[in-house]
Amino acid sequence: MKKYVKYFNASARGLIIPDTQLPKAAAGWGVGYQYVDEKDGEYQVNHTTGTYLVDRVGNRRLVWDYLQLTTNPQRVAQDVQVVLE
């Protein structure tokens, strides 16, 4: 996971939990996912692509979709500033 998330951002963090806990954790964060079998025995995971703004005590404050992050960085910066204050 550590190697995988570095492709997106050097400071990104991935979540690793037991498979039995994944459905509850995903639902709690509003994440959708689906395993897709590949022909060679491998699999890929399709999933939602939200980016979460979490405050200092661990509360989810905002979720941005990919388009919001790429088309309105000023708004994202404002959102982060509000949560930091």
Rg (CA), the chain: 15
The verdict on 38 and 55 lying in the same domain is no
Q: Which pLDDT value is given to residue 24?
A: 95
| Single-letter code of the amino acid located at 34 | Q
The verdict on 84 and 54 lying in the same domain is yes
Q: Which pLDDT value is given to residue 27?
A: 94
- pTM of the predicted model over 0.75: no
34: annotated binding-site residue?
A: no
Question: Which structural domain range is residue 9 located in?
Answer: 1-47
Q: Which pLDDT value is given to residue 6?
A: 81
Residue 85 has pLDDT above 90, yes or no: no
* Percentages of the chain per state (helix, strand, coil), in multiples of 5: 40, 20, 40
The verdict on 1 and 25 lying in the same domain is yes
The verdict on 15 and 33 lying in the same domain is yes
The verdict on 42 and 64 lying in the same domain is no
The verdict on 25 and 15 lying in the same domain is yes
Q: What average pLDDT does range 51-79 have in this prediction?
A: 89
Total structural domains within the chain? 2
